[in-house]
A and B are shown apart, each in its own frame.
Chain A
Amino acid sequence: MTAEQAPALRISGLTIEAATGRGRQVLVQDVELTLARGEILGLIGESGSGKTTTVRSVLGLLDRNVSVTAGEVSVLGMRVQAPGVDESAKVRGRHVGMVFQGASASLDPLMTVGSQLREVARTHLPALSARERDERIAAVIAKMGLPDTARVLSSYPHQLSGGMRQRIAIALAVVAEPEVLITDECTSALDVTTQAEVVDLLRGLTERSDMGMVFVTHDLMLAGDICTRIAVMYAGQIVEIGPAREVIGQPRHPYTRALLAAIPRWDGGEIRAIDGTAPRITAEWTGCRFAPRCPRAEAVCRTGDAPWIELPGGGVRCHFASGEQEGLDVAVPAGSAGQ
């Protein structure tokens, strides 16, 4: 398969384990994801569900006690991660850009914004002349909606606001025009108006180029707003994946429903927290991972692994997903599946 036909990002059967003092812990299991160019794929789930671990593995940024134990990650058809293989240095910044949580602190405090952008441009675009690179940088800064390019480029990070730093971090990630952009909770530290602007900016970036984007967030509504498809993760597994409209409008997995029911609503409807906490998964775990917290778990859920059921445009991991739509509705209060 040539690079042109290959999906921008393909994760298949990815399993990531951590060696801890209490034995091996499974952080991510059997994750399957494909990202086409120009597509925005949402990856949602609560803290500790494995979203960040999954996307960090793409760039080989896992902690030293954490390793890929099965499956592989490929970018444009090039294998970058597999057990014992880490070729991610080849794609970092060039083919895969990443903006992460707290990205406004992701600039070197002792270097001007311009020097940092020039450094990254020089690393990835050695064929261009210095002037062409400067033009490229000015164009990227302009795309970020930052006024007064010259002043921004000569500023140190602490002289800029959080929103501006976030835009610079995005500029750093896209200056080499990568085919994949990964954003990990990149809007969660911003106030609502700035967040809306940054989300617009990201959406614009994917529309204007054929860059694919993985949008990691725990904000379901935000994901529903920006993404083409959404994958929901729970305890290291993908439990549901499908077109954004369907996942938010007609969630099939009890966990997705519970997440939607836990969103505060303006009409004063009840907020339903999910009881308990996500389990720590080891190799000995049996049964559906959501079973201990699932309102409609039955005996079969605790003994057998939940099967992956393919659906048009996606799939769901639940014993009761096939043909029992009515039964599933029990878990969710009427009307909370937001339209």
Chain B
Amino acid sequence: MTAVKAAAPARARTRDKAVRARGAGAVAAFATPLAVIAVLCLAAPLLPVPDPSVQVLSDALKPPAWLDGGDWSHPLGTDHLGRDVFARILYGGMLTFLIAIAGMLAGAIPGTLLGLISGFYRGRADTVISRFVEAQLALPFILLAIAIIAGSGRSLPGLVLVLALFGWAQYARVVRAETLSLRERPFVLGLRCAGVPTPRILLAHMLPNVAGTVLVLTTLQIGTVILAESALSFLGLGVVSPQISWGAMLADGRAHLTTAWWVAAFPGLAITVCVLLVNLLGDALRSWLDPKKRRY
């Protein structure tokens, strides 16, 4: 019998790399500033900024440094209790990111697993899970949040739970659709023929194959979760003082919007920039991981 030779793969791989490298550039361009912001926020206690909770009432509502009456000890000014806005944005960012990531994971993990089960087993499991997804998507988020938080009181775990409830249905729906098409691929039949147990097919083969989609969805969802957290904190359903989040800062600054715009504007800007970067990163990841560019 003649031996088979592998010829073409080398060239194809070079071209793959070129396509991938271009996509990777865009991903890096959005991931880098986001990473810088995240590191700054998480490292806030180590930075030479004032304590975000210290009130200096004589310094209340000082404008940013470059305006008349401002100085560089408070680069972004102070709020109505004389607290440093820049320090509060950094410390608030820490909690905002932690809540966003925890809320995202708490939604992504059960959502992905339920989507996999629903799409792979179909039948009764699918019917039940899909009805729950539809019910979840039909409920207005703020209404649900108010109901839960009013019932359980304001707390961080409660907030994460609400955000998880808000997110899981999206994952379940997208992963289910992806799994439905994936399970018809010949390799799944091949695995079944080879006697690979079903749970193993699900976790070792289906999960990695939907991971790209989940990753993209996750990035996009982080932006949504940051917005949702801000909305809840703005409505007074989120974090409790002295904890700080960007949404809570927005709510604090609302009263002084006409006289001291900087108190609300800078956290608002932080939310906008981060959500925008996260969404752009999600889009870049999506085109980077585009199945049409994969060579199989």
A→B interface (CB under 8 Å)? 59, 61, 64, 89, 91-94, 97-100, 102-103, 105-111, 119-120, 123-124, 145-147, 151, 155-161, 163-164, 167, 169, 172-173, 176, 194, 197, 200-201, 204
Q: Which residues of A contact B190 (CB under 8 A)?
A: 100, 103, 106-107, 169, 172
Are A97 and B193 neighbours in the complex by a CB distance under 8 Å?
yes
Q: How far is the CA of A107 from the CA of B205 in the complex (A)?
A: 10
Among A98, A103, A145, contact of B3 (Cβ-Cβ < 8 Å) = A145
Q: Which residues of B contact A160 (CB under 8 A)?
A: 6, 9
Among A120, A157, A176, A197, contact of B1 (Cβ-Cβ < 8 Å) = A197
Q: Which residues of B contact A111 (CB under 8 A)?
A: 204-205, 208
B195 at the interface (CB under 8 A from A): yes
Among B1, B9, B294, contact of A159 (Cβ-Cβ < 8 Å) = B9
Residue on B with the closest CB to A184?
B193
B8 at the interface (CB under 8 A from A): yes
Report B19 CB to chain A, min CB distance, Å. Answer: 14
Are A110 and B208 neighbours in the complex by a CB distance under 8 Å?
yes
- Interface-forming stretch among B42-50, B99-107, B181-189? B181-189
**Can you give 6 contacting A-B residue pairs, CB < 8 Å?**
A61-B193, A123-B194, A124-B195, A147-B3, A160-B6, A204-B1
Q: How far is the CA of A98 from the CA of B186 in the complex (A)?
A: 12
B→A interface (CB under 8 Å)? 1-9, 13, 122-123, 185-187, 189-197, 200, 204-205, 208-209, 294-296
Are A59 and B6 neighbours in the complex by a CB distance under 8 Å?
no
Report A17 CB to chain B, min CB distance, Å. Answer: 20
Q: Which residues of A contact B204 (CB under 8 A)?
A: 111, 119
Given contacts A161-B4, A164-B4, contact A107 B193 (CB under 8 A): no
Given contacts A100-B189, A105-B186, A146-B3, contact A92 B194 (CB under 8 A): yes
Are A107 and B187 neighbours in the complex by a CB distance under 8 Å?
yes
Report B186 CB to chain A, min CB distance, Å. Answer: 4
Q: Which residues of A contact B4 (CB under 8 A)?
A: 145-147, 161, 163-164, 167, 194, 197
